[in-house]
Amino acid sequence: MMFRMSTGPGPVHRRYFRPVTRDEDDDTERQPDIRCLDRRTVYENPWMTLTEDVVERRDGSTGIYGVVRSRDFSLIVPFDGVHFHLVEQYRYPVEQRLWEFPQGAVVDPPGLTPREAAAVELQEEAGLVADTWTHLGFLHAGYGRSSSGFDVFLATDLSPVPTSREIEEQDMRCGTFTEDEVWQLISRGLMTDSHSVAALAFLDRHMRRVAH
């Protein structure tokens, strides 16, 4: 596949999109389907907060809902015209070394835009800077249990620079792969990160658009 790049539009966060499924004149349309009655923090660290919410549903029944609350993050698809640049690291929760696209949230400095955070993560993890950035879309990371989401960026016109990985990323390594090789990693169970696989769908949609 021959790739053409474009700067594309700025971020459009899909988190705010609400499809209309009821009569807009119906007062119930403006009420949430699940309402929080009470919230307590079960656990908290610098990266995430786990809350247990007491909730009320539309029919008046109540229950509890556990939510992992963490920062939104940025995921980068670095492409040099032939190869994708991936990183591999040991993922402790699943006890495996796996490949993925560079990704993460930036705490320091605070207040960065998603694109600025993406540039920081690309340099830190992959040792790359990009002259061209294309925003591909926004997704929720796992809205059945978590509030966080992520912006996906295509990074092109790449140049190498030194990495500056955090101590938690000391085992990380980089690799370059063609599109077919990326799908082979997925098929072999060596790239199982759902965020990265979803990013490929965004990329495919983008390439179809620029091809016309």
The pLDDT tens digits of the residues spanning 97-133 come to 999 999 999 887 889 999 999 999 999 999 999 999 9
Higher pLDDT, 95 or 4: 95
pLDDT tens digits for range 54-72: 999 999 999 999 999 999 9
pLDDT score at 212? 80
Q: Is the pLDDT of residue 12 over 90?
A: no
Residue 206 in tokens: 């983008």
pTM value is 0.84
Task: Check residue 172 and give its pLDDT.
Answer: 95
Range of weakest confidence among 7-11, 39-43, 134-138, 186-190: 7-11
Whether residue 2 has pLDDT greater than 70: no
What pLDDT score was predicted for residue 89? 96
Top pLDDT among 47 and 156 is at 156
